[in-house]
Chains A and B, each alone.
Chain A
Amino acid sequence: MRHTGTFGRFGGFYVAEPLIPALEELESAWIEARDDPEFAGALAGLLRDYAGRPTPLYRSPALSEELGCAVYLKREDLLHGGAHKTNNTLGQGLLAARMGKTRLIAETGAGQHGVATAMIGARLGLDVKIFMGSLDVARQAPNVQRMKLFGAEVIPIDNGSGSLKDAINEAMRYWTEHIRDTFYVFGTAAGPHPYPSIVRDFQRVIGEEIHAQLHAAHGRGPTAVIACVGGGSNAIGAFARFIDEDTALIGVEPGGHGVDTGKHGATLGAGRAGCLHGSISYVLQDAHGQIHEAHSISAGLDYPGVGPEHAHLMASGRAEYISATDDEALDAFAWLSRREGILPALESSHAIAGARRIADRFGPDDVVVINLSGRGDKDLAHAMAALDAREAAR
Chain B
Amino acid sequence: MRDTRPLRLITCGSVDDGKSTLIGRLLWDTKAVKEDQAATLHRDSGKQNDLGLPDFALLLDGLQAEREQGITIDVAYRYFATDKRSFIVADTPGHEQYTRNMATGASTADLAILLVDARVGMLEQTRRHATIASLMGIKQFVLAVNKIDLTGYDRARFDQISHEFRELALSLGVRQITAIPVSALKGENVVYDGRASMPWYEGPTLVEVLELATVRSAQTVGFRLPVQRVSRPGESFRGYQGTVAGGSVKPGDSVIILPSGMVANVTKIVTFDLVRNAAVAGDAITLVLDRQVDVSRGDMIVSIDSQPQTGLAFDAQLVALQSDGIQPGKRYWLKSGSRRQRVTIEPASQLDLKSGKWNPAQSLPMNAIGKVHLSFDEQAIFDSYEQNRTTGAFILIDPDTNNTVAGGMITGRRSSLSGIHTEDSRVILSLPADLADQILASELFASRREEIELRRVNAGRAAEIFDGIDG
**Same assembly:** no
